[in-house]
Amino acid sequence: MTRILTGIQATGRPHLGNILGAILPAIKLSQQSKNESFLFIADLHSLTAVKNAEELAANTRAVASAWLACGFDADKNYFYRQSRLAQYHTELTWYLLCQTPYPMLANAHSFKDKSDRLSDVNAGLFTYPVLQAADIVLYHANFVPVGKDQKQHLEMSKDIAGAFNRTYGEVLTIPEPLIDESVMVIPGTDGSKMSKSYNNYIDIFLPEKQLLKSVKSIISDSTPLEAPKNPDTDVTFKLFSLMADEAETATMRENYLRGGYGYGHAKQALYELICKKFEKERELYNYYTEDTEALEKKLKEGEEKAAEIARQTIAEVRKVLGFN
């Protein structure tokens, strides 16, 4: 069996970028019979940003519900909260930290980017890629489907696992990133990378009115209604084309180039496309967020299953470290 692993942080509500860049590709892979998938909520990672217990719990429920709503079969695969298996994840993190060159972390793009933007630049943010490496190697994952923004982190996971193996023997499985080049970094409402923590995201599970409002908040330039517009630099067009079929995209492109078609029209069309495309997902999401018992049951079962594997890896690692 090939093991596929993906985590999503509980730093906010799961958004269109997460769904197109990570959730849907991961679910597609989980449906192939040769694969077994580990999909988890990276709620330990989220502590680098979220310092409110209720908010963290609500985000965790939202992310977990999104996985299930998008069609993940939790019974056949592994579905868990990182925090419920914290002893294994954090123990392995320490072992890996001792194999990680300090400059590798200091030069991480994502750390630099976040430390420039955020007021709370904590050490957890700095060591974030090492916890991520531990998340991956703990389950001997072979492939990690991620968005392009995670490319460097995955390189670091490989380097760290490789360094460990060079010191202690071939104990850890070296993971490979799976990056679908056709899925770009999805832009947020302000034009920069859509991120939970930048508050520029579109939550496709919002009630209709709020969803429309959020789509309407997408940045656009001041080209007048009657003038032709450049689809290739416009965020609304980009998002639309990522979800629409070829014919719909071609029509939208013509609308832009023709003029007389405003950004307001395009945003309305994008909103309608989201509602149509994710109709079933939106319904299921509401079911899981309302019936927290059903959600909790799936997670608890998944956590028991995942713990068995994690325990085994930790035992192997402890042995080679000289701790048995």
Stretch 216-235 residues interacting with ligand ATP (CB under 6 A): none
Question: How big is the CA angle at 258 (ends 254 and 260), to the nearest 5 degrees?
Answer: 120
Question: How big is the CA angle at 53 (ends 47 and 55), to the nearest 5 degrees?
Answer: 90
Q: CB nearest ligand ATP: which residue?
A: 21
Name every residue whose Cβ is closer than 8 Å to that of residue 313 and which is 6 or more positions away in sequence.
Answer: 88, 92, 137, 138, 139, 140
The answer to whether 131 contacts ligand ATP (rule: CB under 6 A) is no
For residue 112, the minimal CB distance to ligand ATP (Å) is: 14
Residues 244-263: x where in contact with ligand ATP by CB under 6 A, - otherwise, as a string? --------------------
For residue 297, the minimal CB distance to ligand ATP (Å) is: 24
In angstroms, the CA 288 to CA 63 distance is 11
For residue 221, the minimal CB distance to ligand ATP (Å) is: 21
How many CB atoms within 10 Å of residue 216?
16
The answer to whether 83 contacts ligand ATP (rule: CB under 6 A) is no
The string of DSSP letters for 227-273 reads S---GGG-HHHHHHHHHS-HHHHHHHHHHHHHSS--HHHHHHHHHHH
For residue 18, the minimal CB distance to ligand ATP (Å) is: 4
Question: How big is the CA angle at 232 (ends 204 and 200), to the nearest 5 degrees?
Answer: 35
The answer to whether 125 contacts ligand ATP (rule: CB under 6 A) is no
In angstroms, the CA 244 to CA 246 distance is 7
- Nearer to ligand ATP among residue 36 and residue 149 (C-beta): 149
In angstroms, the CA 275 to CA 273 distance is 5
Q: 11, 100, 142, 189: which one contacts ligand ATP (CB under 6 A)?
A: 11
The answer to whether 21 contacts ligand ATP (rule: CB under 6 A) is yes
Residues 27-66: x where in contact with ligand ATP by CB under 6 A, - otherwise, as a string? ----------------------x-----------------
Q: With contacts defined by CB under 6 A, name the span among 15-23, 115-123, 215-223, 297-305 that binds ligand ATP.
A: 15-23
The answer to whether 146 contacts ligand ATP (rule: CB under 6 A) is yes
Residues 180-219: x where in contact with ligand ATP by CB under 6 A, - otherwise, as a string? -----xx------xxxxx----------------------
Contact 186, 236 (CB under 8 A): no
Q: What are the C-alpha distances in Å from 18 to residues 61, 126, 184, 286?
A: 15, 22, 12, 18
Selection from 98, 128, 95 nearest residue 113 by Cα: 128
Q: 93, 150, 200, 241: which one contacts ligand ATP (CB under 6 A)?
A: 150
In angstroms, the CA 168 to CA 231 distance is 53
Q: Which residues bind ligand ATP (CB under 6 A)?
A: 8-9, 11, 17-18, 21-22, 49, 146-147, 149-150, 185-186, 193-197
